[in-house]
A and B are shown apart, each in its own frame.
Chain A
Amino acid sequence: MGAGRFMLHTPEASGTIVNDASVLAWDQYDLTDVSGFYITIDGGADIDVGLPNPTGSNPTTYSVTIGSLGMSNGPHELVVAAYNAEGTKSANSTTLDVIKV
């Protein structure tokens, strides 16, 4: 951006358009010590989703519906982390930007 030009704020956040029926999925390559998963929305409280709908192996894919997360309409940042039997969390996944409609 050159000097003297305005930085334009974009009111519309970028992200995938989703609705309650959309399916949020992720892959887990190593299941060692995985007892479940937490999803966080916009850095808020952990939502414990357990081990939802596992399919396949190496990786095993897990999924939830967007509607099950109680998310308001608008732009949101989603991340998922695994936890072990003592509740110790893994590092977070990369962030997924969505816009709930």
Chain B
Amino acid sequence: MKYIASLLLLAVLLPAGLQAQACTSTLSAGANIGTALDGASAGNVICLNNGSYSGFDKGGYSFASNVTVRSTNALGATLTTEARLYRSNHIIFSGINFDDGVLLSDFSSSPASHHIEVRNSVFDGSQLIINAGNWSSSAVIIDGNTFINYNSTGFEGRITITRDPSAGTNAGITVSNNSFSVGGCSDGIQLTGGINGVTIGPGNQFIDLIQGGCGPHVDALQIVEANTITITGNYFENCTVFLGFYDGGDDVTLTHNIFNTGNGTGQHFQMGAMDDLVFNHNTVIGTNTSIGTKNDDFDAGDPNQDWIVKNNLLQDSEFTDAGDHPGGTNMTYDHNMFKTMGEARGTNQIIGTATFVGGATPTTSAGWRLAGASVGKAAGDDNRDVGTNFPYGTPTAPANLRIQD
């Protein structure tokens, strides 16, 4: 099952409603986008006619409401050199081919950027780097983009988010509804440099990210010393490493994700030096998890500790303690569902074979929710279905409101 075709189509057809906004100025191919931004006012929509444009290295823009830069026709405009934006706010880029990538960085100066959005664009062989040095609650959104064919030469992620200097709190960055697939020697997303306050999801898809003969890491999602990270409502399929958490992180919460069949027989989750990790209500199919810190890890002296792993659905998947510091301390495994007792660990295990709303091979996220008669229905410690409960429906109304004797 591949979601990516539909996602690519979505990127072409639905630039988040922004296409409906009337252009206040229109540039022809070759025009200077930086100059157009210099002359923009709050609420302006700068449209780029089909063709190629140079990138820009600009900053210091502060608008009272969003200024949008978009292709006149979705993905009709291509920036052939890097787009660099610093110390700015309220700017949206939408429906653009960024052939040489995007860099959002304040270069250690203030004021901090905020309210920047990159939407519905394509990064083919290029990279989006965010240096959130002193950002706090930035409301930066990366949504609906496609990342393909990138071979890393520095930062490993097709999206890399770092923090240099490490000055802000709760960066406030959301990465949602993006597609990572189709070749390239690079991670999907890498979080590094002590970044905190990033939400990955919902709706990202990581498909066919294969290490193969690549030199650089090819992990769907890698964390290198990041903290207060939420990863929710994403879909992972056929990757060599779904989660490359080799190098430590604190307060990382994964909920309602689907990990569908790792590529090869290696360790699809590699979890070391992770403190206060919550792994709750995820669906994990055909995936090997290795838990333990290695001596050559970035944070080698820190064993895993204080984990809560509960309400997950694991089928043909198991946890293995491995590495130089296998397992961890104060690790709670509870109310997880396994196919066999041989795979199970922890307390209150549920044993059985799950059936899904979408049949044996679901083709939508909603299809991965448990069918009405499945083992695991309402079997979590919160009385909800084990595994993913995403996408969320509208609850039924409470009944019998009363004063209780």
Contact = CB atoms under 8 A, between A and B. Distances in A.
A and B pair up: yes
Interface of A: 16, 18, 22-34, 37, 51, 54, 57-60, 62-63, 78-86, 88-96, 98
Interface stretch (B92-100, B108-116, B293-301, B376-384): B376-384
A40 to B, nearest CB: 11
A32 B382 contact: no
B398 A37 contact: yes
Contact of A98 (B393, B396, B399, B403): B403
Interface string B184-227: 00000000000000000000000000000000000000000000
B399 A16 contact: no
Given A84-B392, A84-B393, A27 B382 contact: no
Contact of B404 (A23, A29, A34, A84): A23
20 contacts: A18-B403, A24-B403, A26-B399, A26-B400, A28-B399, A29-B399, A30-B396, A31-B384, A33-B395, A54-B383, A57-B378, A78-B401, A82-B396, A84-B394, A85-B256, A85-B390, A89-B395, A90-B396, A92-B397, A93-B398
Interface of B: 256, 378, 382-385, 389-390, 392-404
B396 A29 contact: yes
Nearest to A80: B398
B385 A27 contact: no
A-B complex: 5 closest residue pairs judged by Cβ atoms: A82-B395, A25-B404, A91-B397, A84-B392, A90-B395
A32 B395 contact: yes
Contacts of A16: 403
Contacts of A58: 378
Contact of B398 (A26, A57, A85): A26
A32 B384 contact: yes
Contacts of B382: 31, 51
Contact of A25 (B256, B390, B402): B402
A80 B395 CA distance: 12
Nearest to A92: B397
A78 B385 CA distance: 30
Contacts of B390: 85
B54 to A, nearest CB: 40
